Structure 1
Amino acid sequence: MSIKIENLTHIYMKGSPFEKKALDNVNITINDGEFVALIGHTGSGKSTLIQHINGLLKPYSGKIIIDDTDITQKNVNLNFIRKKVGLVFQYPEYQLFEETVEKDIAFGPNNLGLSNDEINVRVKRAMDMVGLNYEKYKSKSPFDLSGGQKRRVAIAGVVAMEPKILILDEPTAGLDPKGRDDILGQIKKLHKEYNMTIILVSHSMEDVAKLADRILVMDKGTCILDGTPSKVFKEIDTLESVGLAVPQVTYLARKLKGKGFDVSDNIFTVEQAKNEILRILKNDGRAKK
């Protein structure tokens, strides 16, 4: 499903002494099947923006069009839209409540009025997609699981609804490195196998560089940069001016280039840095011969 945001403005507490413009005439188009990362400093408007996409917030002005349907119109069935646009909040494991993993994941599909057989198929498929063995975990209490496993159960509960668009707000917050890598790997798998449109909100430039096809940079309620990781991460001065950074390996590549090494400008992931250093060493070895 595609998303078209036109002239979107949102004002909190309009007319009060605490009035704040959180979004200021935002215009963004996200194509069907894209993997988009949304980055920005705290207070930049990221969370406000994603809550508009599935109708949790109403705009002060502007439109949000999901597959040709303007969801800001009064007669729109938002429940139908929210079945198609899944939103995983930060720390979603705090929303777990059922006595077993299976029941928690099945809660959403149950509300869709599906048959028991279809619900069972969806639960198994969702658990497989997030890397949880159905037979091993189905009868366990979600509250007895590790932090990373709880996060997977929460994501599986949204995935079991089979949304066309999946929005994840800092899905790796608070996890250890292994848990973080596991969750990111499952998100990439979801994008590839379900062909979902994915919007990932993250503060980790390394994660963004590794996963996203496209990056949107928010600052003071506006989108100031929009492009591929290669394009956006070349704007180091702009990113630093709004309290952001580029991946650490990009700074390393920049320093190596400054010292005379023939290093590519397109180094944003550890894998790219490794390949580039091996290339330089290989070429240096040939030169010595």
Structure 2
Amino acid sequence: MSIKIENLTHIYMPGTPFEKKALDNVSLNIQDGEFIALIGHTGSGKSTLIQHMNGLLKPTSGKIIIDEVDITNEKVKLSEVRKKVGLVFQYPEYQLFEETVEKDIAFGPEKLGLTGEEISERVKRAMNIVGLDYEKYRSKSPFELSGGEKRRAAIAGIVAMESKILILDEPTAGLDPKGRDEILSQIKELHSKYNITIIMVSHSMEDVSKLADRILVMNNGKCILDDTPVNIFKQIDLLESVGLAAPQIAYVIRELRKRGISISDEIFTIDDAAREILKIFRSEGEGK
């Protein structure tokens, strides 16, 4: 399912001393099945942008067109939009409230008016997708789970709605390395297996370099860059000028190139760097 945003502007508290332009004439297209990363420093407009995508905020001006429907039109039922566009807020585990994991995940599908059998199937499928064993976790209290398990349960509640677009706001925030890796692995599998459109807000350049098809860079309410990870992270100076950075390995690669080592400047993950450096060592060894 595609998203088209046309000249989107949002002003908070207009006409007051606290007026703030959070989005400034933003236009972009997101194609069906893409994995988009949205990055930018605090206050750049990321959260405001994603809240427009499922109708939580109304624009001051501009349009948001989802699956050929302009959701800013007053005649559009936003409840129908939110069935298609799932939004997982930062720290979604704070929104868990039912007495069991199964009931919490079932809450959304119940509001869709589905039958008991359909709800049960959706809960089982969602738990499987996020890596929670149904029999093991179904009767547990959400509050007994680890941080990573709570995060997965919360995401399962959105996945069970079977939205065609999934928006994730800092899905690994506050998790330990193990929980973070588990969540990212499940998100990657969710995208590759079900081909849904994913938009992920993140401050981790390492994460977005591994997962995203495209990266959108926000600054002062504008989308200043829209390109592949390779092309975005080549622009280290520009990223640093807006309070961001490239993945740490990019700085290592840049230093190696400065020292005359012939290595690609399109490497942004540790695994790719390790493979490339091994190739260089092997070729040098064979040349002696």
Q: Same fold (TM over 0.5)?
A: yes
Q: Percent identity?
A: 74
Q: Please state whether the residue corresponding to 1:149 is helix, strand or coil.
A: helix
User: Per-residue CA shift, 1:19-48, capped at 9, x if unaligned?
Assistant: 000000000100000000000000000000
Counterpart AA for 1:86: G
What is the 5 A alignment of 1:213-224? 213-224=213-224
Task: Report the equivalent of 1:108.
Answer: 108
After superposition, give the CA deviation of every residue in 1:41-72 in whole Å (9 maximum; x if it has no partner): 00000000000000000000000000110000
Question: How far apart, CA to CA, are the structure 2 residues paired with 1:107 and 1:195?
Answer: 24
Which residue of structure 2 lines up, in the alignment, with residue 71 of structure 1? 71
Paired residue type of 2:62:
G
User: How is 1:249-260 mapped onto 2 (pairs within 5 angstroms)?
Assistant: 249-260=249-260
C-alpha deviation, 1:151, in angstroms: 0.2
**Unaligned runs of at least 5 residues, structure 2:** none
Q: Distance in 1 between matches of 2:262 and 2:68?
A: 48
Question: Counterpart in 2 of 1:122?
Answer: 122
- For the pair 1:138 / 2:121, whether they are aligned, the reply is no
After TM superposition, the runs of 4+ consecutive aligned structure 1 residues lying more than 4 A away are none
Query: What amino acid sits opposite 2:36 in the alignment?
Result: V
Unaligned runs of 5+ in 1: none
Q: CA deviation at 1:194?
A: 1.3
- Within 5 Å, give how 1:30-179 maps onto structure 2: 30-179=30-179
Secondary structure at the aligned position of 2:189 is classed as: helix
Letter in 2 for 1:156: A
Q: Which amino acid aligns with 1:152?
A: R
The corresponding residue for 1:280 is 280
**Structure 1 CA distance for aligned equivalents of residues 202 and 259 of structure 2:** 32
TM-score for both structures, normalised by structure 1: 0.99
- TM-score when normalising by structure 2: 0.99
Residues 219-276 of structure 1: CA deviation (Å, up to 9, x unaligned): 0000000000001001111100000000000000000111111110101111111111
> Could you say what secondary structure the match of 1:21 adopts?
strand
How far the C-alpha of 1:193 sits from its partner, in A, is 1.3
CA deviations on 1:137-171 (whole Å, 9 max, x unpaired) are 00000000000000000000000000000000000
CA apart distance, 1:83: 0.5
Count how many residue pairs are aligned between Structure 1 and Structure 2. 288
**For residues 132 and 250 of structure 1, what CA distance do their matches in structure 2 show?**
35
Cα deviation, residue 282, structure 1:
1.0
